[in-house]
Amino acid sequence: MLLATATVQRSAATREPTWLRWLLIGGALAFLGFFLVLPLLSVFAEALRKGWALYWQALVEPDALSALRLTLLVTAVALPLNLVFGVAAAWAIAKFDFKGKSLLITLIDLPFSVSPVVAGLVYVLLFGAQGWFGPWLMAHDIKIIFAIPGIVLATVFITFPFIARELIPLMEAQGTEEEQAAMVLGASGWQMFWRVTLPNIKWGLLYGVILCNARAMGEFGAVSVVSGHIRGLTNTTPLHVEILYNEYNFVAAFACASILALLALLTLAAKTWVEWQAERQRALDARMAMDE
Amino acid sequence: MTRFTRLIVAAFVTSASCAALAGPELLNVSYDVMRDFYKDLNPAFVKAYRAKMGEDVVVQQSHGGSGKQARAVIDGLEADVITMNMPPDIDALYDKAKLVPENWAARLPNDSLPFTSLQVLIVRKGNPKQIKDWSDLIKPDVQVVMPNPKVTGNGRYSYLAAWGYALKQPGGSEQKAREFVAAILKNVPVLDSGGRAATTTFMQRGIGDVLLTFENEAEMIAREFGHGGFEVIYPSLSVRAEPPVTLVDKVVDKKGTRKQAEEYLKFLWTPAAQEIAAQNYLRPQDPTVARKYASQFPAVKLFTVEEVFGGWRKAQKTHFDDGGSFDQVYARK
Amino acid sequence: MAELTNPVPDAALRLPMQRVDHPSAPSRAGMMQFKQASVLPGFNLALGYTVVYLSLIVLLPLSALVLKTTSLSWSAFWQVVTADQVMAAYRLTFGASLLAAVINLFAGLLVAWVLVRYEFVGKRLIDALVDLPFALPTAVAGIALTTLYAPNGLIGEWLVPLGIQVAFKPLGIVVALTFIGLPFVVRTVQPVLQDLEAELEEAAACLGASRWQTFRKVIFPATVPALLTGFTLAFARAVGEYGSVIFIAGNIPFESEIVPLLIIGKLEQYDYAGATAIATVMLVISFGLIFLINLIQWWHTRRHGMRK
Residues of chain B neighbouring C152 (CB-CB closer than 8 A): 205-206
The answer to whether residues B223 and B128 belong to one domain is: yes
- The residue type found at A77 is V
Q: Which long-range contacts (CB under 8 A, 24 or more apart) does A45-52 make?
A: A46/A250, A46/A251, A46/A254, A46/C144, A46/C147, A47/A251, A47/A254, A47/A255, A47/A257, A47/A258, A49/A250, A49/A251, A49/A254, A50/A251
CB distance B329 to C84 below 8 Å? no
Which of the two residues, B238 and A116, has the higher pLDDT score?
A: B238
Q: Is residue B13 part of a domain?
A: no
Whether residue B192 and residue C265 make contact (CB cut-off 8 A), yes or no, is: no
Q: How far apart are CA A228 and CA A235, in angstroms?
A: 8
C-alpha A217/C-alpha C132 separation (Å) is: 13
Is the CB of residue C53 less than 8 Å from the CB of residue A107? no
CB atoms B331 and C268 under 8 Å: no
Question: What's the pLDDT band for B332 if we cut at 50, 70, 90?
Answer: low
The answer to whether B205 and C146 are in contact (CB under 8 A) is yes
Q: How far is CA A206 from CA A275, A277, B304, in A?
A: 10, 11, 61
Residues of C in contact with A3 (CB under 8 A): 190-191, 194
Residue environment code for A5-32, b if the CB has 16+ CB neighbours within 10 A, otherwise e: beeeeeeeebbbeeeebeebbebbbebb
**What are B25's strand-pairing partners?**
B58
Residues C203-232: tens digit of each pLDDT = 888 888 888 888 888 888 888 888 888 888
Does B105 map to a domain?
A: yes
Q: Are residues B156 and B228 in the same domain?
A: yes
Question: Mean pLDDT across the stretch A162-174?
Answer: 85
pLDDT in tens, chain C (308 residues): 333 333 333 333 333 333 333 434 444 444 446 677 777 888 889 999 999 999 999 999 999 898 888 888 999 999 999 988 899 999 999 999 999 999 999 999 999 999 998 888 888 888 888 888 887 888 888 889 998 999 888 898 899 889 888 888 899 999 999 999 998 899 888 888 887 877 778 888 888 888 888 888 888 888 888 888 888 889 988 988 888 898 888 888 888 889 988 888 888 888 888 999 999 998 888 888 888 877 877 777 776 654 43
Assess whether B203 and B320 both reside in one domain.
Answer: yes
Length of chain A: 292
Cβ within 8 Å of A, C 41-60: 41-43, 45-47, 49-51, 53-54, 57-60
Test C250 with B190 for CB contact under 8 angstroms.
Answer: yes
A104–chain C Cβ distance below 8 A for any pair: yes
H helix count then E strand count, chain A: 15, 0
Bridge-based pairing state of the strands B190-192 and B230-233: unpaired
Query: How many angstroms separate the Cα of B217 from the Cα of each of B67, B122, B258, C292?
Result: 19, 10, 32, 49
Same domain, B237 and B317: yes
Q: What is the mean pLDDT of chain B?
A: 90
Asked if residue B309 has pLDDT above 80, the reply is yes
Q: B206 and C151: CB-CB below 8 Å?
A: yes
Helix (H) or strand (E) run with residue A267 in it: helix A250-291
Q: How many residues does chain B have?
A: 333
CB pairs under 8 A between A and B: 90
CB-CB: which of C137, C201, C240 is closest to A114? Answer: C240
- Is the Cβ–Cβ distance between C239 and C286 less than 8 Å? yes
Helix (H/G/I), strand (E/B), else coil: A5: coil
Cβ distance C137 to A109 less than 8 Å, yes or no, reads no
Residues of chain A with Cβ-Cβ distance to C113 below 8 Å are: 24, 28
Closest-CA distance, C75 to chain A, in angstroms, reads 23
**pLDDT tens for residues B171-206?**
999 999 999 999 999 999 999 888 888 998 999 888
Residue A61 three-state SS:
coil
Which residue type occupies C261? L
Q: What average pLDDT does the segment A52-78 reach?
A: 92
Q: Is the dihedral of CA B279, B281, B287, B293 positive or negative?
A: positive
- Separation CA C178–CA A35 (nearest Å): 8
Q: Which residues of A touch B193 (CB under 8 A)?
A: none
**Does residue B61 belong to the interface with chain A, where contact is any CB pair within 8 Å?**
yes
Give A-chain residues touching C222 at CB under 8 angstroms: none
Are B210 and B121 in contact by the 8 Å Cβ rule? The answer is: yes
* B166 pLDDT more than 80: yes
Name the burial class of residue B233, with classes exposed (0-12), middle (13-18) and buried (19+) by CB atoms within 10 angstroms of its CB.
middle
Q: CA A84 to CA A89: how far, in whole Å?
A: 9
Most confident of A244-248, A251-255, C263-267: A251-255
In 3D space, the residue among C173, B207, C146 whose CA is nearest the CA of residue A257 turns out to be C146
Nearest CA in chain B to A128: B75
Same-domain status, B128 and B229: yes
Tell me the residue type at A179.
Answer: E
**Cβ-nearest to B76 among A129, A245, A246:** A129
Q: Tell whether B121 and B183 lie within a shared domain.
A: yes
Give the distance from residue A272's alpha carbon to the nearest chain C alpha carbon, in angstroms: 6
- C271 alpha carbon, distance to own chain's centre: 30
Q: What pLDDT, on the 0 to 100 scale, is given for residue B36?
A: 87
Does residue B12 sit within a domain? no
| Chain centroid, CA A106 distance in Å | 19
Q: Is C267 on the interface with A (CB under 8 A)?
A: yes
What's residue A4's pLDDT?
Answer: 42
Kindly tell me if the per-residue pLDDT of A20 is higher than 60: yes
The residue-averaged pLDDT of A127-154 equals 89
B201: containing domain: 116-241+300-331
pLDDT of residue C2: 37
How many B-C residue pairs are in contact by the CB < 8 A criterion? 70
Q: What percent of chain B has pLDDT above 70?
A: 93
Structural domain includes residue B7: no
Nearest residue in chain A measured CA to CA from B10: A73
Which residues in chain B have their CB less than 8 angstroms from residue A228's CB? 62, 72, 77
User: Which residues of C fall within a CB distance of 8 Å from A241?
Assistant: 137, 139-140
Of C199, C192, C204, C116, whose CA–CA distance to A24 is shortest? C116
Give C37→chain B minimum CA distance, Å.
35
Is B192 in contact with C150 (Cβ distance < 8 A)?
A: no
Residue A146 has its nearest CB partner, among B36, B77, B194, at: B77
Per-residue pLDDT, C229: 82
Of B22, C133, B222, whose CA–CA distance to A37 is shortest?
C133
Same domain as B163, residue B101? no
pTM: 0.85
Q: What are the structural domains, with CATH classification, of chain C?
A: 12-67 (no CATH), 74-307 (1.10.3720.10)
**C15 contacts A184? CB cut-off 8 A:** yes
Q: Lowest-confidence range among A28-42, A238-252, B32-46?
A: A238-252
Q: Please check whether residue B331 touches C, CB under 8 A.
A: yes
Residues of A in contact with C275 (CB under 8 A): 121
Q: Are the C-beta atoms of residues B54 and B87 closer than 8 Å to each other?
A: no
Query: Is B193 part of a structural domain of the chain?
Result: yes
Are the beta carbons of A31 and C41 separated by less than 8 Å? Answer: no
Instruction: Return the CATH number at B162.
Output: 3.40.190.10
Q: Which of A14, A96, A116 sits opposite C243 (nearest CB)?
A: A116
Considering only the beta carbons, identify the residue of C152, C264, C269 that sits closest to B205: C152
List the one residue out of B332, B333, B324 whose CA is nearest residue B163: B324
Q: For residue A78, which amino acid is it?
A: A
Chain A nearest-CA distance from C110, in A, is 6
User: DSSP secondary structure string, chain C?
Assistant: -----SPPP-HHHH-THHHHH-THHHHHHHH-TTB---S-S-HHHHHHHHHHHHIIIIIHHHHHHHHHHTTS-HHHHHHHHT-HHHHHHHHHHHHHHHHHHHHHHHHHHHHHHHHHH---TTHHHHHHHTTHHHHS-HHHHHHHHHHHHSTTSTTHHHHGGGT---TTSHHHHHHHHHHHHHHHHHHHHHHHHHHS-HHHHHHHHHTT--HHHHIIIIIHHHHHHHHHHHHHHHHHHHHT--TTHHHHS---TTTS--HHHHHHHHHHTT-HHHHHHHHHHHHHHHHHHHHHHHHHHHHHHHHHHHH-
Given CB atoms, is B201 within the 8 Å cutoff of chain C? yes
Specify whether B203 is located in the same domain as B124: yes
Does A49 lie at the interface with B, CB-CB under 8 angstroms?
Answer: no
Q: Does A69 touch chain B (CB under 8 A)?
A: yes
CA–CA dist A3, A279 (Å, integer): 7
DSSP B232: E
> CA C176, CA C249: separation in Å to the nearest integer?
9
Chain A from 249 to 288: CB within 8 A of any C CB: 253, 257, 260-261, 263-265, 267-269, 271-272
pLDDT at B30 over 70: yes
Using DSSP's 3-state secondary structure scheme, residue B247 falls into: strand
pLDDT interval class at A159 (50, 70, 90): very high
C272/A125 Cβ within 8 A: yes
> What is the pLDDT, as a whole number, of residue A10?
54
The neighbour count for residue B265, using CB atoms within 10 Å, is 21
Q: Is residue B47 part of a domain?
A: yes
pLDDT in tens, B121-153: 999 999 999 999 999 999 999 999 999 998 889
Check if the beta carbon of residue C150 is closer than 8 Å to that of residue A53: no
Would you state the torsion angle of the CA atoms of residues A50, A51, A54, A55, taken in this order, to the nearest 10 degrees?
110
Does the beta carbon of B77 lie under 8 angstroms from any beta carbon of chain A?
yes
Would you place residue A91 in the very low, low, confident or very high pLDDT band (cuts 50, 70, 90)? very high
- How many distinct structural domains can be found in chain B? 2
Residue at B9: amino acid letter? V
Tell me whether strands B144-147 and B210-214 are parallel, antiparallel or unpaired.
parallel
Residues A270 and A264: their CA atoms lie apart, in Å, by 10
Q: Does one domain contain both B271 and B306?
A: no
d(CA B134, CA B184): 9
Q: Based on the domain organization, do B205 and B271 belong to the same domain? A: no
Q: Beta B190-192 vs B237-241: how paired, if at all?
A: unpaired
- Residue B116 amino acid letter: T
Of residues A121, A153, A265, nearest to C279 (C-beta)? A121
- Buried residues in B47-70 as b, exposed as e (16+ CB within 10 A): ebbeeeeeeebbbbbbbbbbbbbb
List A98's β-bridge partners, or say none: C35
Establish if B9 belongs to a structural domain. no
Amino acid occupying residue A220: F
Beta bridge partners of C169: none
* Residues B218 and B256 reside in one and the same domain: no
Pairing of the two strands B115-124 and B237-241: antiparallel
> What dihedral do alpha carbons B237, B238, B240, B241 form, nearest 10°?
-170
Query: Which positions 1-30 of C are in contact with A (Cβ < 8 Å)?
Result: 1-11, 14-15, 18
B197 vs C146: CB contact, 8 Å cut-off? no
Q: Any idea what DSSP says for residue B121?
A: E
Indicate the residue type of B110: N
For residue A133, list its beta bridge partners: none
Q: What is the pLDDT of residue B110?
A: 95
β pairing state of B81-83 and B245-247: antiparallel
**pLDDT for A278:** 79
pLDDT at residue B14 greater than cutoff 80: no
B37 → chain A, closest CA residue: A247
Measured between beta carbons, the chain B residues lying within 8 angstroms of C165 are none
- The pLDDT of residue A292 is 61
- Residue B160 sits in the same domain as residue B309: yes
pLDDT of B260 higher than 90: yes
Is C221:C304 a contact under the CB 8 Å cutoff? no
For residue range B274-301, what is the model confidence (pLDDT) as tens digits? 999 999 999 999 999 999 999 999 999 9
Q: Do the beta carbons of residue B247 and residue B93 sit within 8 Å? A: no
Q: Is residue A51 predicted with pLDDT exceeding 60?
A: yes
Q: Which residue from B113, A47, A100 is spatially nearest to C147, judged by alpha carbons?
A: A47
